[in-house]
């Protein structure tokens, strides 16, 4: 089978979400949206097999809702030479304009004023970054994780959050991996151990609903 005949696997839907996991709701006054590794060189290696277009669309809608309802957005990028989660292989030569472009967050999700950008060296977004201290500064204790790759960076970030007594949420249709099996494994493991697994539209509905509840009649 040639690479041109390989189709991206489908994103999870409500019918395919695993049972179990903590029953929690996202509170816009407590939550932070953590967007992991939405960089061109990471996504390039995933495009043939993963639903990258849908990923970008869903994360775009989530960041829009987050900003609208006062939820801080934290972008976590992978630094050159860091341990790879997606096995994406070498990027452009260091110190070149091509490298800068490849390691920047893709244009459609470009950080905006007020967003936080952190550079990670390990799978967990907490490892070697200011993420934990940033959450304390913001007074937040819920972490909503999206991005790549599901079975490494996303999974370990959510687990790390849980081990630090934070409430972890993972948006199943706003993460991707190289294969459907890796994606499914990650989502099932997260639901069974440490995270509330949810879909994009459910997150947006919860943000709208919780914000409406705080508006005086």
**pLDDT for position 211:** 62
Provide mean pLDDT across the span 34-52. 95
**pLDDT for position 19:** 86
**pLDDT, the chain, mean:** 88
Q: Among 1-10, 68-77, 101-110, 203-212, whose mean pLDDT is lowest?
A: 1-10
Q: Among 31-40, 81-90, 139-148, 183-192, whose mean pLDDT is lowest?
A: 81-90
Digit-coded pLDDT (tens) for 104-123: 899 999 999 999 999 998 99
Strands 31-36 and 142-148: parallel
pLDDT greater at residue 47 or residue 94: 47
Provide mean pLDDT across the span 38-45. 93
Digit-coded pLDDT (tens) for 149-174: 999 999 999 999 999 999 999 999 99
**pLDDT for position 114:** 96
Tokens of 128: 């070697």
Q: Is residue 83 very low, low, confident or very high in pLDDT (cuts 50, 70, 90)?
A: low
Laid out side by side, the sheet with 73-78 consists of 116-120, 73-78, 31-36, 142-148, 167-176, 195-198
Q: Is residue 143 very low, low, confident or very high in pLDDT (cuts 50, 70, 90)?
A: very high
SS3 at position 112? coil
Q: For residues 150 and 159, give the distance between their C-alpha atoms in angstroms, rounded to a whole number.
A: 12
User: The whole model's pTM is what?
Assistant: 0.88
Q: How far is CA 27 from CA 75, 137, 145, 176, 206, in A?
A: 20, 17, 14, 24, 8
CATH topology of domain 28-211: Rossmann fold (3.40.50)
Cβ proximity of 76 and 147 under 8 Å: yes
**pLDDT for position 82:** 58
Q: Is residue 81 very low, low, confident or very high in pLDDT (cuts 50, 70, 90)?
A: low
Q: Where are the domains of the chain?
A: 28-211
Taking 50 as the threshold, does the pLDDT of residue 85 lie above it? no
Provide mean pLDDT across the span 72-97. 62
């Amino acid at each position: 089978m040639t690479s041109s005949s390989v189709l991206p696997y489908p994103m999870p839907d409500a019918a395919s979400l695993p049972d179990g996991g903590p029953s929690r709701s996202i509170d816009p006054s407590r939550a932070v949206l953590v967007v992991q590794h939405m960089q061109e060189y990471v996504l390039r290696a995933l495009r043939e097999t993963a639903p990258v277009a849908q990923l970008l669309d869903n994360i775009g809608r989530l960041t829009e809702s987050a900003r609208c309802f006062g939820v801080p957005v934290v972008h976590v990028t992978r630094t050159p030479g860091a341990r790879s989660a997606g096995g994406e292989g070498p990027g452009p030569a260091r110190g070149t304009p091509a490298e800068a472009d490849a390691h920047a967050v893709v244009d459609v999700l470009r950080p905006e004023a007020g967003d936080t950008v952190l550079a990670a060296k390990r799978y967990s977004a907490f490892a070697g970054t200011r993420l934990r201290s940033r959450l304390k500064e913001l007074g937040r204790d819920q972490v909503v994780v999206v991005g790549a790759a599901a079975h490494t960076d996303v999974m370990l970030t959510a687990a790390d959050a849980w081990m630090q007594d934070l409430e972890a949420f993972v948006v199943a249709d706003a993460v991707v991996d190289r294969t459907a099996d890796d994606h499914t494994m990650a989502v099932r493991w997260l639901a069974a151990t440490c995270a509330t697994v949810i879909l994009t539209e459910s997150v947006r509905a919860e943000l709208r609903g919780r914000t409406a509840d705080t508006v005086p009649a």
